[in-house]
Amino acid sequence: MLFSELNIHAFRVVNDLGKAFPALNPAFVFIAEFFLYLMIVPIGLFLFVPKFRNRRLVLAALLTVIAALILRIGVAKLHSNLQPFAELPNVNQLVEKTVGNSFPSDHTILFFSLCTTFALFSKRFGWLWMLLGVLVGVSRIWVGVHYPADVIAGALTAIVSAILVHTAMARMSFAQHTERAGR
């Protein structure tokens, strides 16, 4: 099976679940369209709680989003495809979206940028943040606006960016700590 056939098949499996279980569609529409905006709540809380670690988390999240969006430019040049609803018949399209290159998924990049950053800062709840990222990615397929490859590429772009930012910030923090200790 070719990659494109596998991508379409995986899309059909997930997207057709919306036809088989229509009662779940409103929940997946909410997750696909509005879950990203709910991320503003923890970011806002972290900003207003006067702990240095929380402010570092917000800075790391912001830098990760910026890095991921820059990296996205290069990733988007590797492959191009329209949204499934623009290319395939009988797509269960549950949200409106303009037609354009859907590779990689911007929504997934933004959400995974935040979730991966939170996961790297919270060893205890890291798995939960990543699970939320997967849920948003699956929801973008469920509502018919992205192929699995779009979502996977978006998630990987964000994860790589988050790890790079987290590593760079840890090294800068270590260097500053070492410099202060040497004084």
Average of per-residue pLDDT across 6-28: 98
- Look at residue 38 in the predicted model and tell me its pLDDT: 86
CATH of domain 3-177: 1.20.144
The 10s digit of each residue's pLDDT in 86-117 is 999 999 999 999 999 999 999 999 999 999 99
pLDDT bracket for residue 53 (50, 70, 90): low
pLDDT bracket for residue 178 (50, 70, 90): very low
| Per-domain boundaries in the chain | 3-177
Of 100, 88, 127, give the one whose Cα is nearest residue 5.
88
pTM over 0.85: yes
The 10s digit of each residue's pLDDT in 127-156 is 999 999 999 999 999 999 999 999 999 999
Hey, what are 92's tokens?
A: 């269960």
**Above 80 in pLDDT, residue 71?**
yes
**In this prediction, what percent of the chain has a pLDDT beyond 70?**
92
Print burial letters for 34-43: b (CB count within 10 Å at least 16), e (below 16). ebeeebeebb
